[in-house]
Amino acid sequence: MTLRIGTRGSALALAQAGRVVASLEAAGTAAELVVVRTEGDVSHASLASIGGTGVFAGALRRSLAEGGCDLVVHSLKDLPVQPAAGLVVVAVPEREDPRDALCSRGPGLAELPAGARVGTGSPRRRAQLLERRPDLEVVDLRGNVDSRLRRVVDGGLDAVLLSVAGLTRLGRQDAITEVLPLEDWPTAAGQGALALEVRAEDARHLAGAAATPIGAAAAGLDHPDTHDAVVAERTVLGELQAGCVAPIGVASRLEPARARIWASVHRPDGGARVQRSVEVLLADVPAGGRGATLTQAARALAADLVAHGAADLAPLGATA
């Protein structure tokens, strides 16, 4: 049996899905890529105006539900918090670096001249940039990684903000000027991680039934610590009822004996933010209970954010 792996057709999506194919084949399962065209790939409008990054996931999910492929590979940060009917995220492979990177002609963020033009398509990154450097001109930016980097080389922009994970997967670490510290600059929930989604009938082993070949192959790529961490991060978004276009950063760090989750909610213009964190002791928590413990902590963190005024800053209450 050859698994059909659904993916977007961008260079980054193909690189990500190609890693999944390589991992499956290394484990003895033949696989091939099926490219799915999405509205986000053909529209030049801003992501916020066409529904946020969830537009990428929608087409992939439709292809999976209709039998066009057996498994889809999502960038987890682009996956809506709400599950899709009849589909299940069965595995989250080990995460790549979740941080953001500034790619400029040389200066770091603090050294960019007043009025410098910085490109990003992310409302979160826009708010974080303007909070730290209100003197910058933040330019809405679409396109693949290479086209965004060319905007800096060709002189149209002074810098762009991209994910370290995406640059790494494309072998473009050379373009990074500065990596922004996760402690001060929490990124999108799930950034750096991939999600492998299958039809529910192929994930029935999660309920104790016999695994299908598709579900078993996909589940073999799961990295439990990464899976637990990203579920906790996404729980913060879910509790806040925050959609893809909400300017919210969420990050986590898991260690053998403890974990920390932190999040920041920003006013879109960068004029204010609420940032809170929670720590959890894990030394006495059995391995199978870590996920539930982290999820409970994430809910408490979301409640703390709301108690400190997060709902007054960001467009919460409408998930995407």
pLDDT digits 0-9 by tens, 149-193: 999 998 799 999 999 999 999 999 999 999 999 999 999 999 999
**pLDDT at site 37:** 84
Confidence of residue 208 (pLDDT cuts 50, 70, 90): confident
Taking only the tens place, the pLDDT of each residue in 131-145 is: 999 999 999 998 999
| SS3 call for 251 | strand
Residue 73's pLDDT band (cuts 50, 70, 90): very high
d(CA 300, CA 277): 10
Cα Rg, the chain, nearest whole Å: 19
Q: Which residues contact 65 (CB under 8 A, 6 or more apart)?
A: 84, 86, 87, 199
pLDDT of residue 244: 63
The whole-number pLDDT of residue 47 equals: 47
Residue 217 has pLDDT above 70, yes or no: yes
If you count DSSP H runs as helices and E runs as strands, how many of each does the chain have, helices first?
Answer: 9, 13
Per-residue pLDDT tens over the stretch 89-106 = 999 999 999 999 999 999
At residue 31, does pLDDT exceed 90? yes
The pLDDT, as a whole number, for residue 288 is 84
pLDDT of residue 1: 85
Check whether 109 has a pLDDT greater than 60. Answer: yes
DSSP state of 311: G
Q: Which domains does the chain have, with CATH numbers?
A: 2-94+192-222 (3.40.190.10), 100-179 (3.40.190.10), 233-312 (3.30.160.40)
Average pLDDT of the chain is 92
Query: Is 44 a residue whose pLDDT tops 70?
Result: no
Q: Which residues are catalytic?
A: 78
From 64-78, 93-107, 201-215, 258-272, the region with the lowest mean pLDDT: 201-215
pTM tops 0.85, yes or no: yes
Mean pLDDT (whole number) for 22-49: 77
pLDDT of residue 40: 52
- In terms of DSSP H, where are the helices of 173-280? 213-219, 224-240
| Whether 256 contacts 120, CB under 8 Å | no
The Cα–Cα gap between 32 and 68 comes to: 12
Confidence bin at 315 (pLDDT 50/70/90): low
Given a cut of 90, whether residue 53 has pLDDT beyond it is: no
Residues 6+ apart with CB under 8 A from 184: none
Mean pLDDT of 6-29: 97
Q: Would you state the pLDDT for residue 318?
A: 44
